[in-house]
Amino acid sequence: MHKPAAEEEITSLHDLSAVDLIAGYRARQFSPSEVLDEVIEHVAAWEPHIKALYLFDPDSARAAAKASTDRWQRGEPAGALDGVPLTIKDNIATKGQPIPLGAASVRLVPAEKDAPPAARLRESGAIIFAKTTMPDYGMLSSGLSSFHPLTRNPWDLSKNAGGSSSGAGAAGAAGYGPLHLGTDIGGSVRLPASWCGLVALKPSFGRIPVDPPYVGRVAGPMTRTVDDAALMMCVLAKPDRRDGTSLPADSINWKAHDKSPRKLRIGLMLDPGAGQPLESDVRNVAIKAAKAFESAGAVVTEVDGILTREMLDGLDNFWRARMWDDLSKLSPEERGKTLPYIHKWAEAAARLSGVDVVRGFNATMAIRAAAAKLFCDLDYVVSPVSPVVNFPAEFAAPINDPDKPFEHIAYTVPWNMAENPAISINGDYDAKGFPIGVQIVGRRFDDLGVLGMAKAFEGLRGPQRPWPSPPKK
């Protein structure tokens, strides 16, 4: 376990929030070039240990930072994130760069254009200095990949950063700048955020356009503060015609996310209904969070989970079939490059019938119906993010068994299928100082309210521990 950074290091430029960076640029206290140089220096100290980045390009980033510095000197910033260093997950297309999806079996073909989230961030002036690692096809909550090196958790290098936004989680905890963009189809921004001590918003389906869209799949900000997540939403939550599921333009003021929990009805969900048993440390942190909201005037009641064994197994069958469809189109040589865990998991789909797969897909509709019923009487749900505090860096998943691949996503995956916004935020730490996340879920389209509840929790939970510092040479 690494020692936390010393208090005086917290004010380093690479540790500043995006909100503070923009204020500093505006006041001419420092420039985007100075900030980027410090981030690059910090990356050099951490990256040999955590392996969070893909396509790290400091030269192009320095050129972009110089252009941003010139714009700020003229008083003409390009947008809300001008000059802020930022990373984007491997699977979000950036023009001229390949999209390996974390898998050695994928052919490396340069993308023709930026995907919607990358385009919006670039238009805002953000400096995309690297992409981040992910596991094969995004189908693991782990930093294990057949294409990328093993990504490790900065809080403890022997532990997993989670996934599938593994590099984003590790980069955020290590201080590779304030903003990181991940994707989430079953917990892939919230789980690494929980294990890395970050804030991560899985927005309502369609709130942030993606390309290509898919059932339950969203992009979402991964940051150290709620304010920074809201700032990213100002840029990301805009319609894009390439995504036929994207929501229409709206007038949401993402910066106005202060919210009082007083008189709100909150359900505390400690048992999701299926999946891996809940560890006592995680349970205690979730209860502590619920009590904090109760002390602020919320009405808290414990509620039953909405997931069933049949639903979770159905999703497993559906995703196996989807994965096997992709792998079966590859040559035997290409298919053999896939991570063995993923290959073994997906190959089992060859024994499923068409009815099995359709029943699996229908689990998404059953989850949606159960979620709607739950929120008839509740404003928000508070729960754990992960049932476990952490797991070994070398594991593909907490249980590490391809026959039981999704036991750890029972708290997170329902909200992808039901399309509800859900945020992970650090709740506390275990006895060794490892972060434990809390999840706050809202009704469909109440993304601003979820951010507001997380902001309120930031004020209720008490001081946080310093972020980890790089190992000494």
Q: What was the pLDDT predicted at 1?
A: 53
- Rounded Cα gap, residues 91 and 156, in angstroms: 26
pTM: 0.96
Q: Give the containing element (helix H, strand E) for 53.
A: strand 53-54
**Partners of 218 in beta bridges:** 184
> What does the longest C-alpha to C-alpha distance in the chain come to?
64
CA atoms within 13 A on the CB side of 384: 28
Q: What was the pLDDT predicted at 73?
A: 98
Q: Cα 9 vs. chain centroid, distance in angstroms?
A: 26
Q: Give the containing element (helix H, strand E) for 290.
A: helix 280-295
Q: What was the pLDDT predicted at 8?
A: 39
Q: What was the pLDDT predicted at 9?
A: 45
Q: What was the pLDDT predicted at 6?
A: 44
Name the H helices within 5-155.
18-26, 32-50, 58-74, 116-123
Provide CB contacts within 8 A for 260, sequence distance 6+: 296, 297, 456
Q: How many CB atoms lie within 10 A of CB 273?
A: 17
Per-residue pLDDT of the chain (473 residues), as tens digits, is 555 554 434 469 999 999 999 999 999 999 999 999 999 999 999 999 999 999 999 999 999 999 999 999 999 999 999 999 999 999 999 999 999 999 999 999 999 999 999 999 999 999 999 999 999 999 999 999 999 999 999 999 999 999 999 999 999 999 999 999 999 999 999 999 999 999 999 999 999 999 999 999 999 999 999 999 999 999 999 999 999 999 999 999 999 999 999 999 999 999 999 999 999 999 999 999 999 999 999 999 999 999 999 999 999 999 999 999 999 999 999 999 999 999 999 999 999 999 999 999 999 999 999 999 999 999 999 999 999 999 999 999 999 999 999 999 999 999 999 999 999 999 999 999 999 999 999 999 999 999 999 999 999 998 999 999 999 87
Q: What was the pLDDT predicted at 462?
A: 86
The CA R_g of the chain, rounded to the nearest whole Å, is 21
DSSP letter for 444, please.
T
Name the H helices within 296-329.
309-328
238, two tokens: 């805009």
